[in-house]
Structure 1
Amino acid sequence: MRIYKLPVSFSGESFFLLSPKESRYLVSVLRFPEGKTFSGRDASGTPWLLTLQKVGASYGLRCTPATEDDATENAADAMPLYTGFLPAIHLFPCLLKGKKLEGVIRQACEMGVRRITPVHSAHCVASFVDDEKRNAGKIQRFEAQVREAVQQSGSRIITEVTPAIPFSDIPTAWGSSGPGLFFHQGQNDALSFGQRIALIRNHVLAGAPLAIVIGPEGGLSPEECALLEASGFHGVLLKTNILRAETAAIYAIAAAQSLLLEA
């Protein structure tokens, strides 16, 4: 663990009593001694300095507001934390079968993606169930992946995972927030990925968010591509081997970040 993600029930108090599960994690798994001071972040990404304190048979955290420098200096391991600019990427991954989507969420969170909205498209193998109780359970599992990723990577961005939406709702969900790209093997855009990024680079570096849509195992349908194009999204062909949907998502994020930050 590099940065401890405070539970969502934390609301800025100076002393926070830990649940038995959280106490066991810090004391038995990480073997933190009483009095250990380390960095943490709340649900909004705000940094805190935390000191482990025993209270009877339980444990709590003495919480002090911190700066980003404090968070870096008090990371739980010696590796330096990245404190530079990261583009505000909003990922729209189509639903994947099994636990593949959870893996995408965990890795995207490690890379500093701001928001993830799963999407049900025409060729999704995984089913979309509009059931509030079941969807709430999925969001809880996704949030567990976010927490694990934040604590492992030390990311200062607490990725937001929103409930899944139908593909047709992407234009409404995104609106005119910023540029949007979709990655699809059948897309023959005249511009390369690098050329397209070059056109939007200044816009994104100035703070505009970037939407990235990734198709499912079965790919996007022609109608879905047309919908995105009509909504201002630009199609990009990844000039590489045919990738699994979960691989394409991470490849696209990494390539976008590199092209935006290193050009």
Structure 2
Amino acid sequence: MQRYFVNAPASEGRFYISGDDRHHIVRVMRGKIGDQIICSDSDGKSAICTIAEITDDLVIATVVQWEEGSSELPVRVAIASGLPKGDKLETIIQKGTELGAYQFIPFTAARSIVKWDDNKASKKVERWQKIAKEAAEQSHRRLLPKVAAPVTFKELLALSRDYDFKLIAYEEDAKAGESSMLSKTFASVEKNQSMLIVFGPEGGLADQEIAQLKEAGFISCGFGPRILRTETAPLYALAAVSYHFELMR
């Protein structure tokens, strides 16, 4: 059953679907009155619905049954990625959404090769958000992850104050054989708390950035003995969160 994210909550037991999603239901899925879909609102509530009406602008779906349970990670994990080359960030957003990330925060790191173009910002962020939306629908997420516009390193430090736990994926720790800080941190995290994990671009984080992050309360940790690519490390971290907080409990 196809899932759709609707910006507004249900009104009097009905969802009102417009724009690209209306087009997808009517033109791509060939939806008809009486067909069933799943609608998720911005509060993370989902319901099995029946298409009640199709107009030139809207698909109106009536709630049949609200879904119970949740497909969301019990910990809100934000992924902060130093801007990488090519389409690597798109891979992080797509696969990271499937693995349960709560938010994506790209940032300009000292070793980022990509130069952010503010003139193309809105279209780029719109594309990233669309990738997250499609991945969230495919993986039956209840919440749609937010993809932020790229921030500066200084702005990232300021944003970090809002999180309960803060980690740095640091390849030098991995090289040195550090293997305990990730699991020790997980052991301290409780349900519904938030976690921000910072990953460097292809060249890694600069020493000065590591020092500033630690000064801001971040804990550096290794992700096993192998050095992971910038697009692989966030997926490793999310898989580890899922294993610890979902499969081990």
Q: TM-score category by the smaller chain?
A: 0.7 to 0.9
SS at match of 1:118: strand
Residues 49 and 65, structure 2, Cα contact 8 Å, conserved in 1: no
1:246 aligned counterpart, secondary structure: coil
1:105 aligns with 2:71: no
- 1:240 Cα deviation after fit: 3.7
**Equivalent residues of 1:189, 1:235 under 8 A apart:** no
Match of 1:221 among 206, 215, 228: 206
The answer on whether the counterparts of 2:167 and 2:198 sit within 8 Å (CA) in structure 1 is yes
Instruction: Report the Cα offset of residue 58 of structure 1.
Output: 6.3
Are residues 1:184 and 2:170 paired?
yes
**CA–CA distance in structure 2, aligned partners of residues 237 and 202 of structure 1:** 16
One-letter amino acid of the structure 1 residue matched with residue 161 of structure 2:
G
Map of 1:49 onto structure 2:
48
1:257 aligns with 2:242: yes
8 Å CA contact retained: 1:52, 1:61: yes
Question: Hey, what does 1:18 align to over in structure 2?
Answer: 18
Is 2:223 the counterpart of 1:235?
A: no
Distance 1:172 1:56, change over 3 A: closer
- Contact persistence 2:15–2:61 (CA under 8 A): yes
Which letter does structure 1 place at the counterpart of 2:123? Answer: G
Q: Secondary structure at the match of 2:168?
A: strand
**SS in structure 2 opposite 1:165?**
coil
Unaligned stretches of 5+ residues in structure 1: 73-81
Equivalent residues in 2 for 1:1-80, closer than 5 Å:
2-6=2-6, 8=7, 10=8, 12-13=10-11, 14=14, 16=16, 18-19=18-19, 21-55=20-54, 60-64=59-63, 67-69=66-68
1:123-138 mapped onto 2 (5 Å cutoff): 123-129=111-117, 131=118, 134-138=120-124
Deviations 1:53-73 (A, max 9, x none): 44466651224385333xx8x
Pair 1:240–1:34, CA change in 2 (3 A): farther
2:125 matched to which residue of 1?
Answer: 139
Aligned residues: 246
Identity value in percent: 24
1:139-174 Cα distance to aligned partner (Å, 9 max, x none) = 211110111011100011221111211123222101
Aligned residues of 1:94 and 1:120 also touching (Cα < 8 A) = yes
Q: Which amino acid aligns with 1:92?
A: A
Post-superposition offset of 1:202: 4.6
The structural deviation recorded for 1:15 is: 5.2
Q: Retained in 1: the 8 A contact 2:54–2:60?
A: no
The CA distance in 1 between the partners of 2:9 and 2:63, in whole Å, is 12
Match of residue 151 from structure 2: 165
1:183, distance to aligned residue in structure 2 (A): 0.9
SS at match of 1:205: coil
SS in structure 2 at match of 1:201: helix
TM-score, normalized by length of structure 1? 0.81
* Contact preservation (8 Å) 1:96, 1:125: yes
